[in-house]
Amino acid sequence: MPGLRERKKEATRQAIHEAALRLAVEHGLDQVTVEAIADVAGVSRRTFSNYFAGKEDAVLYGDERRMSELMDEFAARPPEEPSWAALRAAFDAQYERLGRRPDPEWAARARLAKKHPSLAARQMAHYSTMEQRLTGLIAEREEIPAASPRPRVMAAAFLTCLRIATVIWTEDPSRPLNEIVHEVLAEYARPFR
């Protein structure tokens, strides 16, 4: 369990994230300044900069945290489980932990990324970082070099499927996200002809 100092740091990071997301949804990302986010979060501009490089990172923090938790869940899966099955099971476990109702912020972040190229670019940079981490985890699980194609392709495919499913879900939130994720993963598994 993290100590008091770490919990306070996480609470500050979360407050900045929530302020950034709320302001971006209400006013549009282009109309929001770092100073406004800091004011709403009740921190100084300097404190904001200690936690985030810019407003895009503050808005996307929830995605970053969610993806990191997904990687941790995957790494904790039984080693004998095939990698693709472990990825699906890790997603399902995360979805269950969210109470089968994904955080409404998840959809808000996805919609914002569709509207704002700077946010979409930053989100893709986050995905690239996560893809590298996932590649390493898959390579380790399969006991093959991370530079080989298999872990790279599998990591990229899985994360792309999640991204596509999230976009579909934001367009039709009446369907459960996990249903859409499984549909997209099944479509990927079908041969292309």
pLDDT digits 0-9 by tens, 64-85: 888 999 999 999 999 999 999 9
What is the pTM assigned to this prediction? 0.82
CA dist 18 and 64 (Å) reads 14
Residue 73's pLDDT is 96
Give pLDDT tens digits for 92-105.
999 888 765 555 66
Position of tokens 């770092």? 34
pLDDT-flagged residues of the chain (< 50) = none
Quick one: angle between helices 104-115 and 149-171, nearest 10? Answer: 100
Residue 101's pLDDT is 56
Which helix (H) or strand (E) segment is 179 a member of?
helix 177-189
Residue 66's pLDDT is 87
Residue 102's pLDDT is 55
